[in-house]
Amino acid sequence: MKNWEKYIRKVEPYVPGEQPENTDVVKLNTNENPYPPSPKAYEAARDFDFDRLRLYPDPEAGVLTEEIARRYNMSSDRIFVGVGSDDVISMCFMTFFNSDKPVLFPDISYSFYSVWAELHRVKYEQVSLDENFNIIPESFYRENGGIIFPNPNAPTALYMELEKVEDIIRHNQDSIVIIDEAYIDFGGKSAIEFVDKYDNVLVVQTFSKSRSMAGIRIGYAFGSPALIRALNDVKFSFNSYTMNAYSLVCGSAAMADEEYFNECVAKIIKTRENAKSELTRLGFEFPDSKANFIFAAHRSVPAAYLFEELKKRGIYVRYFNKPRIDNYLRISVGTDDQMKKLFYALEEIIDGCNSGLKA
């Protein structure tokens, strides 16, 4: 080993879902929205003055922050904007998780949490879910340097009722509690109300799922003015100009289009509920999804085999080769046409397996 190699920070990186080069596939592996962004975002993009790209963007992200504030009826000093919710959460790790006590998050959850903890050298402990993949609030009744969990959880898609969320907050008022709500628009009620009630709570959301803008990278957080100031201090020390001018304009236009947002969310929920019926018919079992994906295991055909066979047919879903969940597929909710192709392929694969067993 060369001397300089000893000082390289080594981490095991987060592995995102595959992004196939061939676009002629059924892509149900990264929980993207199958519908296009708001027409208002297209209009904003068409009218964008590209001469503005020679200038630095607004470091305060004012036009976007104000639109989010208007949409949620909240003052702008309670809103933080970042380059996707991943950037927001990473900033939260840097800003708030600096105790000698461990940060707590579920053992089956968004796998980026442990990556950020390793990257930022934050102590952490993973809290076990119960046998049905539910978060157990009592498991967080202990000393910690902070808490973070998704609601609905990923990859399980299970939503935790707000009284249980508040139970965790109420027992941890000496540390920061972050609720990651990337999928909240597809089921359940947001914990935003707790931002006013508790000064140690942050609620994080994103444009990537329900607003069809994963490619433009916008995330945001709600919190007390003191927490938002602390986040901005770290952000401005790290990179003052994190949100580009094009994203600010398109994002604020999309946030303003409530009618289109509601229409798209309703379509995804309807398709998801139909998918539950179809997957049950095909022999799958799954937690009751409140997200834009379903976490499903077949009663007789291994998930790893289904994953590979679907991929051969140009259908991409997500497979996690990890303890307790290595027989599950995470299936994003696509359009009705995409889901029909999925069900047809699954039926073909499963029937082939059953025929082989009978033979």
DSSP 145-177: SEEEEESS-TTT-----HHHHHHHHHT-TTS-E
Q: Are residues 100 and 184 in the same domain?
A: yes
Are 272 and 289 in contact by the 8 Å Cβ rule? The answer is: yes
- 3 domain residue, yes or no: no
Q: Are residues 223 and 266 in the same domain?
A: no
**pLDDT given at position 356:** 61
- 143 domain residue, yes or no: yes
Are 253 and 41 in contact by the 8 Å Cβ rule? The answer is: yes
Q: Are residues 80 and 31 in the same domain?
A: no
pTM for this structure?
0.95
Structurally, the chain folds into a number of domains equal to 2
Q: Are residues 216 and 314 in the same domain?
A: no
- 2 domain residue, yes or no: no
**pLDDT given at position 21:** 81
**Among candidate residues 20, 27, 41, 16, the one with its CA nearest the CA of residue 207:** 41
Q: Are residues 318 and 224 in the same domain?
A: no
Q: Are residues 69 and 181 in the same domain?
A: yes
Place of tokens 């000698």: 100
Q: Are residues 188 and 265 in the same domain?
A: no
Instruction: For residue range 23-75, list pLDDT tens digits in order.
Output: 889 999 999 999 999 999 999 999 999 999 999 999 999 999 999 999 999 99
Q: Are residues 52 and 25 in the same domain?
A: no
- 329 domain residue, yes or no: yes
Per-residue confidence in pLDDT tens, the chain, 359 aa: 788 888 888 888 888 888 888 888 999 999 999 999 999 999 999 999 999 999 999 999 999 999 999 999 999 999 999 999 999 999 999 999 999 999 999 999 999 999 999 999 999 999 999 999 999 999 999 999 999 999 999 999 999 999 999 999 999 999 999 999 999 999 999 999 999 999 999 999 999 999 999 999 999 999 999 999 999 999 999 888 889 999 999 999 999 999 999 999 999 999 999 999 999 999 999 999 999 999 999 999 999 999 999 999 999 999 999 999 999 999 999 999 999 999 999 999 999 887 665 54
CATH number, domain at 129?
Answer: 3.40.640.10
CATH number, domain at 349?
Answer: 3.90.1150.10
Q: Are residues 87 and 129 in the same domain?
A: yes
- Spell out a b/e string for 342-356, using b for 16 or more CB atoms within 10 Å of the CB, else e: bbebbeebbeebeee
As a residue count, the chain comes to 359
Q: Are residues 30 and 82 in the same domain?
A: no
**Among candidate residues 149, 129, 142, the one with its CA nearest the CA of residue 89:** 149
Q: Are residues 224 and 291 in the same domain?
A: no
DSSP 269-299: HHHHHHHHHHHHHTTEE-----SSEEEEEES
**Among candidate residues 126, 125, 194, 142, the one with its CA nearest the CA of residue 164:** 194
**pLDDT given at position 116:** 94
What are the backbone dihedrals phi and psi of residue 344, each rounded to the nearest 5 degrees, phi first?
A: -60, -45
Q: Which of 256, 279, 302 is the last residue of a domain?
A: 256
Domain of 219 in residue numbering reads as 39-256
- 246 domain residue, yes or no: yes
**pLDDT given at position 358:** 54
Q: Are residues 159 and 290 in the same domain?
A: no
- 5 domain residue, yes or no: no
Place of tokens 């679907």: 310
